[in-house]
Amino acid sequence: QTHFPFHSLQAKMSRPVQARRLEGIDKNIWVEFVKLAATYSKVNLGQGFPDFPAPGFLTEAFTRALGGGNHMLHQYTRAFGHPPLVKVLAQFFEKLLGRDLDPMTNVMVTVGAYQALFCCFQALVDEGDEVIIIEPFFDCYEPMVKMAGGTPVFVPLRPNPPKDGKLMSSADWQLDPAELASKFSERTKAIVLNSPNNPLGKVFSRGELGLIAELCVEHDVLCISDEVYEWLVYDGKQHIRIASLQGMWDRTLIIGSAGKTFSATGWKVGWVVGPDRLLQHLRTVHQNSVYHCATIAQEAVAQGFQRELMLYGKPESYFVQLPKELQQKRDWLVQSLDDVGMKPIVPEGTYFLVADISQFKSDVPDVPNSDEPYDYRFAKWMVKNKGLAAIPLSAFYSEAHKNNYTHFIRFCFAKEEVTLKAANDILKKWKQEKTSS
Ligand code: PMP
């Protein structure tokens, strides 16, 4: 007789291996669509990254840091941010916010904006806390809130189509003030604001930010302000930082990304700027998880910011040039889409554009009772049959609201002229086939 019969060994293996907090968040849009794009796309306007080079001054700074005489740049640096980077970020944000900042306590460097967000939720959200998320939203907010034990509470931007036959703008998607107010309660710990917003490209107006700020102050709610597209604003619009509104500095964490700011998403350098009373807790999470971000990348980003500080507001500034170039790319893509009847929603900011696919529905028939939203099926069909990759908009909605937004897809236009031209060719040919069939 044995004490370890075979069946009991098997029984032990049937115990769930994953932690409960991962339940229901194991599906991820990026895993699926990045793979589809890699397999089928000829033109990839899906995931958000530029296919043009990062600016020379930045890559040269990296090369200098790598090959220059300072071998200590290959070692650990200060955990909460390489001193030259936190210093210049503090100087830069002092200018933007009009307040004095301490580089050591008001700035923390992270592994991209992703880790900045993760630190925020882990540090601030407890079991039972509610976090308000404005839909459509950058998809990771929801699983990050859940992993922290919190409950996401969604409030949608509601589209108001223009009546004059003009193209819709991202500004036509608005919060209903009463609906927003109804989501705040004593359980609300934080609201996530993302302006300029991915995926719509909406740049929140001073009035909209004022409304959010008033509610945050009234209900003592924190604001996690994801501003990774802060420099990508078009048509002379201005990006307004909610932290600069009355009563907001003490309750706001500003999140940024060198990946978006300097067109170098692979470097994964991000930051959080905010009051020490909040940042001290983010430091605890950061210290005990990733510890710090690659020293050389931080050194190069610091030099990039030093350049930008010197050229602030001048025509040579990358923060002035990049949006100019992107605005032109936006206009090209708007035109291409409008020409074929895939109605674009003109974004005020970011490098994303959402388009209405209703007129193309006859090409990709709906499957009644399928649990896959129509836009997912459309985007999959499009990449497989037309070689054009985009992301379904419903991926940026909670499960409960997905089915209200299944006739839009998101394109990224941070692409070389040839890439956008190739997309235009695909769309034109498709339209011709449609009209001749
Ligand atoms: N926030 C938003 C709104 C984003 O779109 C992204 C990247 N797509 C991130 C955060 C993450 O940025 P990073 O690459 O710096 O981690």
Contact 107, 271 (CB under 8 A): yes
Give distance in angstroms: CA of 258 to centre of ligand 1: 10
Cα(328)–Cα(345) distance, integer angstroms: 15
Shortest-distance Cα residue to atom 7 of ligand 1: 48
Stated pTM of the model: 0.95
Give distance in angstroms: CA of 117 to centre of ligand 1: 9
State yes or no: cis peptide before 275, omega within 30 of 0.
no
Look at residue 2 in the predicted model and tell me its pLDDT. Answer: 52
Contact 343, 357 (CB under 8 A): no
Residues 6+ apart with CB under 8 A from 332: 413, 417, 420, 424
Cα(212)–Cα(201) distance, integer angstroms: 18
- For each of the domains in the chain, give its residue range(s) and CATH number, in order of start: 27-54+318-436 (3.90.1150.10), 56-311 (3.40.640.10)
List residues bridging with 349 in a β-sheet.
233
Look at residue 27 in the predicted model and tell me its pLDDT. Answer: 83
At position 239, the amino acid (one-letter code) is: H
* Probe residue for ligand 1, chosen from 110, 198, 253, 350 as the CB with the greatest number of ligand atoms within 8 Å: 198
**CA nearest 109: which of 277, 291, 304?**
291
Contact 171, 348 (CB under 8 A): yes
Look at residue 28 in the predicted model and tell me its pLDDT. Answer: 86
At position 128, the amino acid (one-letter code) is: G
Contact 228, 257 (CB under 8 A): yes
Q: Which atom of ligand 1 is nearest to the CA of 114?
A: 16
Cα(298)–Cα(305) distance, integer angstroms: 10
Give distance in angstroms: CA of 132 to centre of ligand 1: 19
- Ligand 1 within 6 A of CB of 256: no
Give distance in angstroms: CA of 205 to centre of ligand 1: 21
Per-residue model confidence as pLDDT tens digits over 362-406 = 898 888 778 889 999 999 999 999 999 999 999 999 999 999 999
**CA nearest 253: which of 193, 305, 178, 201?**
193
- Ligand 1 within 6 A of CB of 138: yes
- Ligand 1 within 6 A of CB of 265: yes
- Ligand 1 within 6 A of CB of 114: yes
- Residue 359 burial (10 A CB sphere; 0-12, 13-18, 19+): middle
Q: Which atom of ligand 1 is nearest to the CA of 229?
A: 3
Q: Which residue has the tokens 């971000």?
A: 293
3-state DSSP assignment of residue 153 = strand
Per-residue pLDDT of the chain (437 residues; tens, 9 = 90+): 555 555 555 556 778 888 988 988 888 889 999 999 999 999 999 999 999 999 999 999 999 999 988 999 999 999 999 999 999 999 999 999 999 999 999 999 999 999 999 999 999 999 999 999 999 999 999 999 999 999 999 999 999 988 888 999 999 999 999 999 999 999 999 999 999 999 999 999 999 999 999 999 999 999 999 999 999 999 999 999 999 999 999 999 999 999 999 999 999 999 999 999 999 999 999 999 999 899 999 999 999 999 999 999 999 999 999 999 999 999 999 999 999 999 999 999 999 999 999 999 889 888 877 888 999 999 999 999 999 999 999 999 999 999 999 999 999 999 999 999 999 999 999 999 988 87
Contact 396, 382 (CB under 8 A): no
Give distance in angstroms: CA of 182 to centre of ligand 1: 28
Contact 26, 391 (CB under 8 A): no
Look at residue 16 in the predicted model and tell me its pLDDT. Answer: 83
**Phi, psi angle pair for 326, to nearest 5°:** -70, -30
* Probe residue for ligand 1, chosen from 140, 192, 202, 257 as the CB with the greatest number of ligand atoms within 8 Å: 257
Look at residue 12 in the predicted model and tell me its pLDDT. Answer: 65
Look at residue 4 in the predicted model and tell me its pLDDT. Answer: 58
Q: Which atom of ligand 1 is nearest to the CA of 47?
A: 8
**Phi, psi angle pair for 201, to nearest 5°:** 85, 15
At position 167, the amino acid (one-letter code) is: L
CA 179 to chain centre: 24
Look at residue 7 in the predicted model and tell me its pLDDT. Answer: 59
- Count Cα atoms within 13 angstroms, Cβ side, for 118: 15
Q: What share of the chain is helix, strand, coil (3-state, %, to 5)?
A: 50, 15, 40
List residues bridging with 356 in a β-sheet.
343, 408
Q: Which atom of ligand 1 is nearest to the CA of 260?
A: 15
State yes or no: cis peptide before 199, omega within 30 of 0.
yes
Look at residue 262 in the predicted model and tell me its pLDDT. Answer: 98
